[in-house]
A and B are shown apart, each in its own frame.
Chain A
Amino acid sequence: MASIRRNIVPYLFLIIPVLIYLVWVIGPMFYTFYLSLTNWDGLTTPSFIGFRNYERLFRDKVFFISLVNNLKWLISFITIPVVLGLGLAMALNKAIPGEKIFKMNFYMPMVLAMVVSGIIWGWMYHPKGGLINTALVASGLVEKGPGWLSDRDIVLWSIIIVAIWRQVGYVMVLYLAGLKSINPQLLEAATVDGANSWQSFWRILLPLLTPVTIIVLVISVIDSLRAFDLSTITRWATELLLL
């Protein structure tokens, strides 16, 4: 009797959280997949049509353009913050004057809501009054600054810069934690054996940081798919202004 009771205990602990999770997250995921295989106008009952929607999607021009944009976004969002974040972590992993202020400064953007980042950058990018164009014109480099958020060729990169600005601090924090867990004797041993800092970085430090790098990559891929707020708010800001 006692063992039966012990056996149902974990299920009792799990029942409510799992139910909520199934209803709000897992169920909807499958429902979306089901809907993608149907023909549905949003009102009548969906009718099953197999993979026809996907066929249509891949023939759609807009979809293809957004897919390419997404890829550009994904690649820059992964590579640039990883390089910058790792560099910052290595520089700040020493007893460096002002260490705390540096760190706080770099991960501050992460605390801001996407909406807030969007607003602040929307203002930075403002065609006339914004800081960037004002500075560009004042320095005499250009007569009229580019339309950071209205020029088709630039807008994607303008928004990627904001995303990178937010992400670097996060990557830095993860690498700092990783660097702390590395035994300094390993690096000392390498120096004694005549390895220069270039070699010990590529052959020792980076391989030891592999678990952190994997986590950083996974997080970056997840976050890169969540760019809705940022692109909407920054774009929207200027579209309104251009009216």
Chain B
Amino acid sequence: METAREYFKSPWRVLIYIVLVIAAFLWFVPILTGLITSLRTFDEILLNGFISWPETITLENFKTAWERGGLSRYLPNSFIITIPALVLTLFLSSLAAYALARFKFSGNRLIFFTFVGGMLLPFQVLLLPVFRLTDFLGLYDTYWGLILFHTAFQLGFCTFMLRNYMRTVPGEIIEAARIDGCGEIRIWAQIMLPLTLPAIAAVATLEFTWIFNDYLWAIVLLRSDSLKPITAGLATLQGQYVTDWPVIVAGALIGTLPTLLVFLFLQRYFIEGLTLGSTK
């Protein structure tokens, strides 16, 4: 406890700490509300008001959302879409990033800025053309239509991050490999990728959350209910159980679980990913 005593030496610090605790509590209230709501019945909440001691605690809402609400069908879809998109984006952007970080050629800057520029686009601009393109390719209402779009859209950010990181790898290692007659593909696969692993892990955790949490593109590029990911499924659930908030909120919590787990276990990479571009 020496650090605590050290910290609270000045009264100002005590004041700051109190403000922090209040702020932290306020920030936690929505999540706490969600948790409590999901364990209660709606009738009881309406009868006694939300701020009342729960008479019954039940997991029934989770069961309803999972089985009758169809989340057991939507959740696998989320993975079927997210994982291929994530792998493809990382693979393609690491190829592009290697070329942009390690070769001098005409068009390098132009290509780099194209990637960065596209990364900044608001998605509304792409809505109609991407819909028509997907339809034209016969991919409307298929997993691949959505996977390919996510792959392409995330390429900008991933290439930008990985390219910046790859530039920090010392050039001597690559030169030495080249002199030893190592081909470029092997340099990329056996030298560059292992050295870039921390950045790839960081970008991957971020991308997982972004792709997994997408809602807009899922409802634009998919129509069949059987293909929809959990975000779109939650909207459907909301329509189905209009008057039963505990079920809807329980569903929302189920939908959060995968990203929450990724975040809790890979927190370090997650934070690194967010700050990767800002400090280097």
Contacts and interface: CB of A to CB of B under 8 A. Distances in A.
Interface of A: 7, 9-11, 13-14, 16-18, 20-21, 23-29, 31-32, 35, 88, 91-92, 94-97, 101-102, 104-109, 111-117, 119-121, 123-124, 126, 128-131, 134-135, 138, 165, 168, 170, 173-174, 176-178, 180-181, 211-212, 215, 218, 222, 225-226, 228-229, 233, 236-237, 240-241, 243
B54 to A, nearest CB: 14
A120 B249 contact: yes
Interface in B22-57: 23-24, 27-31, 33-34, 37, 42, 45-46, 49-51
Contacts of B61: none
A23 B152 contact: yes
A96 B100 CA distance: 42
A226 B123 contact: yes
B130 interface: yes
A105 B118 contact: no
14 contacts: A17-B93, A24-B153, A25-B118, A27-B133, A28-B126, A32-B128, A35-B128, A97-B3, A116-B252, A119-B251, A120-B252, A129-B45, A168-B27, A236-B238
Contacts of A135: 51
B179 interface: no
A34 B155 CA distance: 24
B260 to A, nearest CB: 6
B252 A111 contact: no
A131 B263 contact: no
Contact of A17 (B105, B159, B278, B279): B159
Contact of A222 (B27, B108, B122): B122
A27 B152 CA distance: 12
B149 A24 contact: yes
Interface string B162-204: 0000000000000000000000100010000000000000000
Interface centre among B51, B108, B249, B275 (most CB of A within 10 A): B275
Nearest to A212: B278
Interface of chain A, main secondary structure: helix
Contacts of B248: 119, 123
A32 B245 contact: no
B197 to A, nearest CB: 19
Contacts of A222: 120, 122
B267 interface: yes
Contact of A13 (B30, B96, B129, B234): B96
A111 B256 contact: yes
A165 B30 contact: yes
A69 B7 CA distance: 44
A235 B175 CA distance: 58
A122 to B, nearest CB: 8
Nearest to B16: A91
Contact of B51 (A26, A95, A134): A134
A10 B103 contact: yes
A10 B99 contact: yes
A123 B30 CA distance: 9
Given A10-B100, A21-B115, A25-B155, 4 more contacts: A17-B95, A23-B133, A97-B4, A241-B242
A44 to B, nearest CB: 14
Nearest to B243: A241
Contacts of B59: none
A28 B23 contact: no
Interface in B95-127: 95-96, 98-100, 103, 105, 108, 111, 114-115, 118, 120-126
A119 B234 CA distance: 9
B50 A129 contact: yes
B277 interface: yes
A104 to B, nearest CB: 7
B79 interface: no
Contacts of B234: 113, 115-116, 119
B6 A95 contact: yes
A20 B95 contact: no
Contacts of A226: 122-123
A102 to B, nearest CB: 6
Contacts of A165: 27, 30
A123 B239 CA distance: 14
B152 A108 contact: no
A9 B103 contact: yes
Given A13-B99, A35-B128, A113-B215, A28 B123 contact: no
